[in-house]
């Protein structure tokens, strides 16, 4: 899941009423525009934060991938401003009852500048229609918006969106899933599981925000991956690990291709939640992949990739090392 920020201006009312966002494919000079090209990256289930007149007014969830569409009949904007050929995404708007004024948060945006987000170093919005929004920025905006809402419904919608974005950002097993994994490890199967090479569809489950679909993580598969690795760190089996109460080594499961990237594959055929894509890591290596410097991650990723490349391809997950590395940058 990705989060986007759209500067809609005079088109906001028409687009909200119609349940879509739209941009031309090219600017008036016939050239490409980053704000228009960003539309093509939107996929079904992505979040969009909507702003107009320097205020965040709505959030939405994409109901379709981006597709090519002619310019809609706008009532609030001059049609001759744009080419007819464009990009469209159908989306489900949820309004804030109290819009969030961006000018009140400019200092925070300056102090928390992110180059790949929707705001410049001076805290002002980029001069483009659609932008990627850094997840920390998205979380901040939602938390601040919750504070000023009057209606319980608006608070409910924002809290559910916040829960989903935070969960996606962490993108690992939650407390309940970890407990299930621990219980399975304590009662492991007598036969050590092996890779099967089976290609199967990604199981999905329902997230909290307006029944958004997200990939399901199966604790049984994670526990089997740990057992197959002998409860050792797959980067360095000699890394110091502590023992569980049942005297098995304590390691943690990690999706080598992050499960949040399931839409980069044909998830109706190929699952990321398979043993071939789950590695057993000591706590140090696991945290390094999530929070460490890129130069420190590369040796770890390279070894894990080389060990798993053929197995990943067998289950339909063909990926280059450069593509894998990009997920961790």
pLDDT at 80 > cutoff 80: no
62 & 146 share domain:
yes
161 & 193 share domain:
no
- Parallel/antiparallel/unpaired status of strands 85-101 and 20-24: antiparallel
> Which CATH number fits the domain that encloses residue 10?
3.10.590.10
Contact of 133 with 115, CB cutoff 8 Å: no
Distance CA 222, CA 188 (A): 12
pLDDT at 81: 66
pLDDT at 204 > cutoff 70: yes
157 & 129 share domain:
yes
271 & 312 share domain:
yes
Confidence at 82, pLDDT banded by 50, 70, 90: confident
Residues 174-200 as b or e (16 or more Cβ within 10 Å = b):
eeeeeebbeebbeebeeeebeeeeeee
280 & 151 share domain:
no
User: What predicted TM-score, i.e. pTM, was given to this entire model?
Assistant: 0.63
181 & 303 share domain:
yes
Q: What is the pLDDT of residues 38-69, one digit of tens each?
A: 999 998 888 999 999 999 999 998 999 999 99
8 & 142 share domain:
yes
pLDDT at 247: 86
Phi-psi region of 76 (alpha: psi -120 to 50; beta: other; left: phi over 0): alpha
How does DSSP assign 111-170, residue by residue?
HT--TTSSB-TTSPBPSSSEEE--HHHHHHHHHHHHHH--SHHHHHHHHHHHHHHHHHHH
pLDDT at 315: 97
160 & 226 share domain:
no
For residue 153, give both structure tokens. 């419904």
Distance CA 140, CA 256 (A): 28
**Domain assignment of residue 317, given as a range:** 175-326
10 & 147 share domain:
yes
Among 1-10, 29-38, 210-219, 294-303, the range scoring the smallest mean pLDDT is 210-219
136 & 216 share domain:
no
Query: In a 10 Å sphere around its CB, with 0-12 CB exposed, 13-18 middle and 19+ buried, how is residue 87 labelled?
Result: buried
Helix (H) or strand (E) holding 224: helix 219-228
Task: Point out the domain boundary residue: 170, 204, 222.
Answer: 170
Task: Point out the domain boundary residue: 117, 152, 170.
Answer: 170
208 & 161 share domain:
no
Contact of 201 with 267, CB cutoff 8 Å: yes
At residue 70, the 3 state secondary structure works out as strand
What is the longest distance spanned by two Cα atoms in the chain? 72
210 & 243 share domain:
yes
Task: Indicate the number of domains in the chain.
Answer: 2
Q: What is the pLDDT of residues 161-203, one digit of tens each?
A: 887 777 665 556 766 788 888 889 988 877 889 999 999 999 9
Task: Point out the domain boundary residue: 140, 170, 200.
Answer: 170
């Amino acid at each position: 899941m990705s989060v986007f920020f759209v500067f809609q201006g005079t088109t906001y009312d028409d687009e909200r009423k119609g349940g879509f966002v739209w941009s031309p494919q090219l600017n008036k000079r016939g050239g490409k525009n980053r704000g228009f090209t960003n539309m093509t990256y939107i996929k079904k289930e992505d979040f969009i934060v909507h702003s107009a007149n320097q205020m965040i007014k709505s959030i939405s969830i994409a109901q379709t991938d981006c597709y090519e569409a002619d310019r809609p009949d706008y009532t609030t904007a001059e049609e001759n401003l744009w080419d007819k050929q464009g990009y469209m995404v159908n989306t489900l708007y949820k309004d804030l009852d109290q819009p969030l004024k961006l000018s009140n948060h400019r200092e925070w945006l300056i102090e928390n500048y992110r180059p790949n987000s929707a705001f410049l170093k001076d805290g002002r919005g980029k001069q483009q229609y659609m932008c990627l929004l850094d997840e920390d920025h998205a979380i901040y905006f939602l938390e601040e918006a919750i504070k000023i809402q009057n209606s319980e419904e608006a608070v409910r919608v924002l809290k559910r969106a916040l829960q989903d974005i935070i969960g996606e950002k962490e993108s690992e097993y939650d407390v309940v899933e970890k407990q299930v994994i621990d219980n399975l490890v304590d009662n492991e199967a007598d036969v050590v599981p092996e890779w099967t090479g089976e290609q199967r569809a990604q199981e999905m489950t329902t997230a909290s925000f307006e029944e958004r679909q997200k990939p399901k993580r199966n604790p049984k598969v994670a526990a089997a991956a740990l057992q197959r690795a002998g409860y050792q760190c797959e980067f360095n089996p000699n890394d110091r690990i502590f023992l569980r109460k049942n005297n098995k080594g304590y390691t943690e499961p990690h999706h080598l291709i992050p499960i949040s990237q399931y839409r980069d594959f044909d998830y109706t055929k190929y699952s990321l939640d398979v043993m071939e894509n789950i590695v057993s890591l000591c706590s140090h290596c696991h945290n390094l992949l999530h929070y460490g410097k890129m130069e420190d991650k590369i040796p770890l990723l390279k070894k894990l990739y080389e060990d798993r490349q053929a197995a990943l391809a067998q289950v339909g997950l063909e990926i280059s090392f450069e593509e894998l590395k990009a997920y961790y940058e």
